[in-house]
């Protein structure tokens, strides 16, 4: 008698943007501790998010793979990896290849990137012929003011209407655009290869990235549809936890998001990993989240003391969706003997000269 073979459930990953104002190493630690299957690295001004060697060490240390790379194509990451948009995609592709990730998430071009927008579809096709990495174009949203709609993206904010082979569906963005997430998933069919799971209330011009179940999006029905359809891509929790009052509250939000997603995908929680895993998690947790190592080759990590400098006088980035999810602000000059001035997460927490981050030396493998 034949038995129906149940398709493996899609992997559930944590976006590194979900731990802001903590940083990339903290996302790896949270993903490992809570039982996520992997991470999606949001490439930002955080030096760790750009450094393949350091990311490899984080993968090895926490036993958590990188399943996707989000190219630095947000408004606030325009200067990360240079200004040339195709150059950013090439570097994201190379990072994904080196880390064993399958997907690079990319936004549609901004309308002022005219040449890039004109060649966007054909250019992705050419890159598709050169690599096994999948470039998944994310749905965005228009801006509305006084009853008028302003299109910030070209040829469109909606990849359903674009000639691109692979798409990322983001449910916070469907809330902001007023789109029907279930209808979009149905129209995309096999082009849907990546999902950013989040929620939103549909307030005009607000990209909220709420924990699934806290907004008005059909998060549960979509997850159930993915499971029923045999979806084989990754589901990434890209949620905003910056208002969490403590680290424990942030972890509680990320736990709730993971449990919601598992429940509606019909996937049981994996084994916790046993005493050895718990012991290592406790050892890491005793000093708080993992410290961010400095960029490779720009200084001696062991030569500095964590948190010896004071934050500069620069201002935090604008309170936009890009700023919230990328976790960046502009940092002014710092005290002599500390990290050099530059752009980093709000509050001046990135050490530009290789000095460990402010939480102490708890990640020797990255030093």
Beta-carbon contacts of residue 133 (< 8 Å; ≥ 6 apart): 93, 96, 97, 101, 102, 103, 104
What local confidence, expressed as pLDDT, does residue 5 receive? 55
pLDDT of the residue at 147: 80
Tokens of 165: 């082979």
Residues 53-70 have pLDDT tens digits of: 999 999 999 999 999 999
Q: What is the pLDDT of residue 268?
A: 65
CA neighbor of 119 nearest in space, from 85, 70, 78: 85
Consecutive H or E run containing 168:
strand 167-170
Domains, the chain, with CATH or none: 12-269 (3.20.20.150)
DSSP 8-state code for residue 153: B
Q: Which residue has the tokens 């995908």?
A: 265
So what's the pLDDT on residue 270? 58
Report mean pLDDT in 10-residue bins for the chain, 367 residues.
Answer: 63 97 97 98 96 98 98 92 95 98 97 95 94 97 86 94 96 96 98 98 93 98 97 97 95 98 83 41 43 42 39 39 40 33 37 37 33
Helices marked H in the chain: 24-34, 47-50, 52-62, 85-99, 114-118, 120-130, 171-177, 181-188, 219-229, 247-265, 274-285, 321-326
- pLDDT (0 to 100) of residue 337: 35
Instruction: Note the pTM of the prediction, 2 decimals.
Output: 0.75
Report d(CA 60, CA 50) in Å as an integer.
17
Q: Sort strands 134-138 and 103-106 into parallel, antiparallel or unpaired.
A: parallel
- Pairing status of strand 103-106 against strand 66-70: parallel
∠ CA 260-263-269, rounded to 5°: 100
DSSP class of 24: H
Q: What is the pLDDT of residue 345?
A: 36
Percent helix, strand, coil in the chain (nearest 5)?
A: 40, 15, 50
What pLDDT shows up at residue 146? 79
């Amino acid at each position: 008698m034949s038995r129906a073979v149940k398709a493996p459930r899609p992997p559930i990953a944590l976006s590194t943007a979900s731990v802001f104002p903590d940083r990339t190493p903290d996302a790896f630690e949270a993903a490992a501790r809570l039982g996520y299957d992997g991470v999606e690295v949001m490439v930002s001004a955080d030096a760790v998010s750009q450094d393949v060697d350091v990311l490899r060490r984080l993968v090895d240390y926490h036993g958590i793979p990188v399943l996707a790379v989000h190219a630095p194509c947000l408004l606030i990451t325009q200067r990360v990896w240079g200004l040339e948009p195709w150059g950013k995609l090439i570097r994201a592709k190379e990072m994904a290849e080196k880390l064993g990730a399958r997907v690079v998430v990319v936004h549609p071009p901004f309308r002022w990137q005219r040449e890039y927008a004109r060649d966007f579809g054909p250019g992705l096709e050419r890159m598709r012929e050169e690599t096994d990495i999948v470039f998944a174009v994310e749905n965005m949203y228009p801006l509305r003011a006084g009853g008028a709609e302003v299109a910030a993206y070209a040829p469109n904010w909606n990849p359903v209407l674009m000639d691109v082979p692979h798409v990322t569906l983001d449910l916070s963005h469907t809330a902001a655009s007023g789109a029907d997430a279930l209808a979009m998933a149905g129209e995309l069919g096999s082009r849907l290869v990546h999902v950013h799971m989040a929620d939103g209330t549909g307030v005009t011009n607000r990209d909220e990235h709420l924990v699934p179940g806290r907004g008005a999006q059909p998060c549960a029905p979509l997850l159930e549809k993915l499971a029923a359809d045999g979806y084989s891509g990754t589901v990434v929790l890209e949620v905003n936890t910056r208002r969490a009052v403590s680290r424990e509250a942030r972890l509680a939000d990320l736990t709730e998001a993971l449990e919601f997603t598992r429940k509606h995908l019909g996937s049981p929680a994996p084994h916790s990993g046993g005493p050895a895993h718990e012991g290592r998690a406790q050892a890491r947790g005793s000093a708080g989240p993992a410290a961010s190592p400095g960029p490779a080759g720009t200084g001696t990590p062991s030569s500095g003391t964590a948190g010896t400098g004071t934050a500069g006088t620069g201002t935090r980035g604008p309170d936009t969706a890009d700023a919230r999810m990328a976790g960046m602000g502009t940092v002014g000059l710092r005290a002599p003997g500390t990290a050099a001035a530059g752009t980093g997460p709000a509050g001046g927490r990135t050490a530009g000269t290789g000095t460990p981050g402010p939480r102490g030396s708890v990640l020797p493998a990255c030093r």
